[in-house]
Every structure is written in structure tokens, then in C-alpha cells.
């Protein structure tokens, strides 16, 4: 297997966790390169369901090395809890988990500011309130605290003191919030540093060595392309580079070392949080698909908004990620529909948009132009090979392939490992 970047090609929750788990069997290293515990990646193995937030989804394969790159923002409390939960389920992270010394750290003031901005601002984004945006903002403002700082008491003391003075001023004066006491926070984070120390390493160098030894690297994207801070539906995005290019920056690996980009799409579309969603279902269909697809957030439990497959949007993803191959998940969720719509372009004020518009006003008010296809009306969840799919399901996939001008290579018809087959 070459070095692969796997990205979500919609608004997140495409089933990346499941597909990473499958591809990980042929990889040596699985690397998260952006996002934080806003991500919720579900892997189902028999009776067991694992929801991973920070630890790469490759961890469930015993010998794989899992890496949290410099581009990830880490809430140490959440990470240590996740490691402990994995342990109770018999998954030992031991020496298989590595954390970049350059990864930025989420503090309680990041979470509080995230919450307060969501609460007080008129234009809510519907964030996960995990402190992601404020932490990345500090990184770019060059006031962030990194993993390496947590294991140097002197550096941590100095940085936290100056950062906290500013954060407390904002919290108390703008939001009327009590703020945080230095001593307690310093002690808490020194303790996290001590606990995380065995995992902290110069990850870019380790990956460089791995590439030299021809090891196989699998990069696990979090969120989705339309949540990318540059290429998504700004400002209704997350604060990191969820697109394939983010893998280079967020892991310290040069673009010449990446061989392939795989995009994961649902057979329909979902989105959590606020923001435009041209193909969003009407209420009755929304309720039906949400129930059948169990479309509730893996991190926050919020109901996901659902809609028809949007090829205009996924074409944008194919372009900005350089997607070579596509994986389609949750085909089974459409099993009972009599007819299925696919959006190929938008109409707004008499103009047809074949390319995904950047203007949020167009996205919010446009009319999707649909092609309608017949449903297949059969249960696909027990199907184990492409040849056995109903003809109309194959026709649907072929239509997507044509609209996206990209090969569909893998199909998923259920959350379990065995409910996956190659397109032959």
C-alpha cells in the first residue's frame, strides 16, 4: 500500500473511522493531522463500538503505530480519558501512540471562550464547544502552548502566566465570567504533561525515518472538506485544514511523499451545526433518513441535518483535495426509497452554478438542480460483493461516478467491517 491520505469529502461524519479501520490493516502508521476532539470517528467490531476523538482509528489493529501530528489540537484531559476508556476495552495504547511535541494544547479558557461566543454572539456557528477555534486562534497568534511546553515547568509557567492574564481580562471584562486561577491551572497541566510525556516525540522525524524504511503511512483526516477553514463554507467551518494538503503541514511530511488521496462520501449528505445546506431534506424525509442512518453526532449527540447527495459540492472536494478514488458509505440507508435525487448544479437569480460557489449568500438561497433516479427497494446490508448489488443501486453509483469523474473503489452497506466490498 502506498502512502495514502483519507479525507471526508462532505461536511464530516462520512464514515472515515470505519474506512480508516479497514485500510489500516495494510498500513504501518496511522496519523491524525488536524482537528481535535471535535471529531468523532466510529469503528464497529462485532458487538463493540469504539468512538475515537483524538486517537487515530488504526489503534484497534494491534501492531499499528498511531500518531497525533503537530496539526492536531489536544485537550489533554479528553486524550487521557480516551486512552483510559480504550484500556478498559482491552486496547492498550502503550508504546503504539505518539504525540507530536509541537501539537497545540487546549486549555479550559479555550473551551469557555468557545461556549461564550456561541452563547452570546448572534451569528452562532454551532461549534462542538470543545475549544477548537480559540486554540487554533492562539496558535496562529503565536501565543499558544504546545505539548513540549507541558513537560518544561519553567516554560509552561512563563507562557501560561502571560496568556492567562489576557484571557482572564477578556473573560471578566467582556463576558462577565470569573476567569481562571493560575496556580490550579498550572498544577493541573503540569500533571497532564507528566502523564503525556511517554507519548511525546519529534513525530516528523519518526515519520521521515518510517518513509525512508518504506513503511506504509495512512493519514486520517478529521471533519470534512466543506468544514476546511479555507475551502469550506466559511465562516461555517472548523478552524483547521481538513483537506489533503493539511496532512503535509499537520504531520511534517512533504507532498512528494504522498501517493494517493482517497475521499469518503456518504451516499447522501449530512451536516451538524449551522450553515448553508442546499440539498437539505424537507422535515418528513429528514426524520426518516435520520432514524434509518442513526444520524446523531458521535461527539455531541446532536441530530445531524440530512439531505440528498450533492455532486456540485463533492466535485469541489475532488478538486481541492486531488481525490484519486472515492469510497461510498451508508448506501444501505437509501434502500427503502422509491426514488433518489442527486444535485448536479445550483440555480440562483437566473444563473446556473456548476462550480461550488464561494458566496455564502448564493449557497443559502440557491435552488439545487436535481436528477432523479429510481430507488432499488431491496435490503443491501447483507451484500458482500459488488456483483450482488441490485442493478438500480449500481446505476446510482455509476451516476455518481460519472458526475464526479472519479473512480468509486469501495462501498459500505453497514457499520461493521464485513459490510464493505470493493467495486469490481
Would you name the residues annotated as active-site residues?
Answer: 13, 41
For residue 107, what is its C-alpha cell? 486549555
Pick one of 8, 71, 193, 357: the residue that binds ligand IMO (CB under 6 A): 8
Distance separating alpha carbons of residues 153 and 145, to the nearest angstrom: 12
Closest-CA residue to 263 (of 1, 38, 8, 35): 8
Kindly provide the b/e burial profile for residues 181-213, where b requires at least 16 CB atoms within 10 angstroms of the residue's own CB. Answer: eeeebbeebbebbeebeebbbebbebbeebbee
Q: How far is the CB of 66 from ligand IMO (least distance, A)?
A: 16
Distance separating alpha carbons of residues 338 and 298, to the nearest angstrom: 29
Distance separating alpha carbons of residues 355 and 345, to the nearest angstrom: 7
For residue 113, what is its C-alpha cell? 471562550
Judged by CB under 5 A, the stretch of 1-9, 132-140, 240-248, 290-298 that binds Mg ion is 290-298
Pick 242 or 253: Cβ nearer ligand GDP: 242
Pick one of 56, 133, 246, 368: the residue that binds ligand IMO (CB under 6 A): 133
Report the site for ligand IMO in 171-230 (rule: CB under 6 A). Answer: 222-224, 227
Say whether 325 sits in a helix, a strand or coil. strand
Which element (helix H / strand E) includes 236? none
Pick 176 or 301: Cβ nearer ligand IMO: 301
Judged by CB under 5 A, the stretch of 2-10, 295-303, 361-369, 406-414 that binds Mg ion is 295-303
> Residue 43 interacts with Mg ion (CB under 5 A)?
no
For residue 160, what is its C-alpha cell? 501560561
Pick 196 or 328: Cβ nearer ligand GDP: 328
Tell me how far the alpha carbon of residue 343 is from its chain's centroid.
23
Binding site for ligand GDP (CB under 6 A): 8, 12-18, 40-42, 44, 293-294, 298, 329-330, 332-333, 412-415
Pick 234 or 421: Cβ nearer ligand GDP: 421
> Residue 220 interacts with Mg ion (CB under 5 A)?
no
> Residue 272 interacts with ligand IMO (CB under 6 A)?
yes
Pick 292 or 392: Cβ nearer ligand GDP: 292
SS (H, E, C) 329-360: ECHHHHCCCCEEEEEEEEEECCEEECCCCCCH
Task: Give me the phi and psi of 45, to 5 degrees please.
Answer: -125, 105
> Residue 130 interacts with ligand IMO (CB under 6 A)?
yes
Q: How far is the CB of 29 from ligand IMO (least distance, A)?
A: 19
For residue 144, what is its C-alpha cell? 499558544
Q: How far is the CB of 82 from ligand GDP (least distance, A)?
A: 15
Q: How far is the CB of 154 from ligand GDP (least distance, A)?
A: 39
Pick one of 9, 10, 13, 112: the residue that binds Mg ion (CB under 5 A): 13
Question: Which residues of the chain form contacts with Mg ion (CB under 5 A)?
Answer: 13, 40, 298
Amino acid at each position: 500500500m502506498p502512502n495514502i491520505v483519507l479525507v471526508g469529502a462532505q461536511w464530516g461524519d462520512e464514515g472515515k473511522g470505519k474506512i480508516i479501520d479497514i485500510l489500516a490493516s495494510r498500513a504501518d502508521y496511522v496519523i491524525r493531522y488536524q482537528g481535535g476532539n471535535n471529531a468523532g470517528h466510529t469503528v464497529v467490531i462485532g458487538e463493540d463500538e469504539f468512538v475515537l476523538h483524538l486517537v487515530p482509528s488504526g489503534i484497534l489493529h494491534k501492531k499499528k503505530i498511531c500518531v497525533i501530528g503537530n496539526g492536531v489540537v489536544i485537550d489533554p484531559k479528553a486524550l487521557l480519558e480516551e486512552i483510559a476508556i480504550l484500556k478498559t476495552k482491552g486496547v492498550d495504547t502503550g508504546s503504539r501512540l505518539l504525540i507530536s511535541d509541537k501539537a497545540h494544547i487546549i486549555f479550559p479558557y479555550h473551551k469557555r471562550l468557545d461556549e461564550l461566543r456561541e452563547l452570546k454572539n448572534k451569528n452562532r456557528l454551532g461549534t462542538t464547544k470543545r475549544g477548537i477555534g480559540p486554540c487554533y486562534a492562539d496558535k496562529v497568534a503565536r501565543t499558544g502552548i504546545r505539548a513540549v511546553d507541558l513537560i518544561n515547568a519553567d516554560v509552561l509557567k512563563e507562557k501560561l502566566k502571560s496568556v492567562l492574564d489576557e484571557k482572564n481580562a477578556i473573560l471578566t471584562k467582556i463576558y462577565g465570567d470569573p476567569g481562571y486561577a493560575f496556580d490550579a491551572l498550572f498544577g493541573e497541566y503540569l500533571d497532564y504533561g507528566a502523564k503525556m510525556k511517554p507519548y511525546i516525540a519529534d513525530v516528523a522525524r519518526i515519520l521521515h525515518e518510517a518513509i525512508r524504511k518504506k513503511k506504509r503511512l495512512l493519514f486520517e483526516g478529521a471533519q470534512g472538506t466543506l468544514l476546511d477553514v479555507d475551502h469550506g463554507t466559511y465562516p461555517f467551518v472548523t478552524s483547521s485544514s481538513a483537506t489533503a494538503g493539511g496532512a503535509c503541514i499537520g504531520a511534517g511530511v512533504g507532498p512528494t511523499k504522498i501517493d494517493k488521496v482517497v475521499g469518503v462520501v456518504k451516499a447522501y449528505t449530512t451536516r451538524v451545526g449551522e450553515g448553508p445546506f442546499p440539498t437539505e431534506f424537507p422535515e418528513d424525509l429528514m426524520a426518516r433518513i435520520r432514524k434509518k442512518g442513526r444520524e446523531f453526532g458521535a461527539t455531541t449527540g446532536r441530530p445531524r441535518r440530512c439531505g440528498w447527495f450533492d455532486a456540485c459540492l463533492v466535485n469541489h472536494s475532488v478538486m481541492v483535495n486531488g481525490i484519486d478514488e472515492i469510497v461510498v458509505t451508508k448506501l444501505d440507508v437509501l434502500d427503502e426509497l422509491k426514488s433518489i435525487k442527486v444535485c448536479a448544479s445550483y440555480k440562483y437569480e437566473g444563473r446556473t452554478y456548476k462550480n461550488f460557489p464561494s458566496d455564502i449568500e448564493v449557497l443559502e438561497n440557491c435552488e439545487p438542480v436535481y436528477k432523479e433516479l429510481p430507488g432499488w427497494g431491496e435490503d443491501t446490508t447483507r451484500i458482500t460483493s459488488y456483483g450482488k448489488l441490485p442493478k438500480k443501486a449500481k446505476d446510482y453509483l455509476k451516476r455518481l461516478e460519472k458526475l464526479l469523474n472519479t473512480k468509486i473503489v469501495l462501498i459500505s452497506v453497514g457499520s461493521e467491517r464485513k459490510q464493505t466490498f470493493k467495486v469490481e
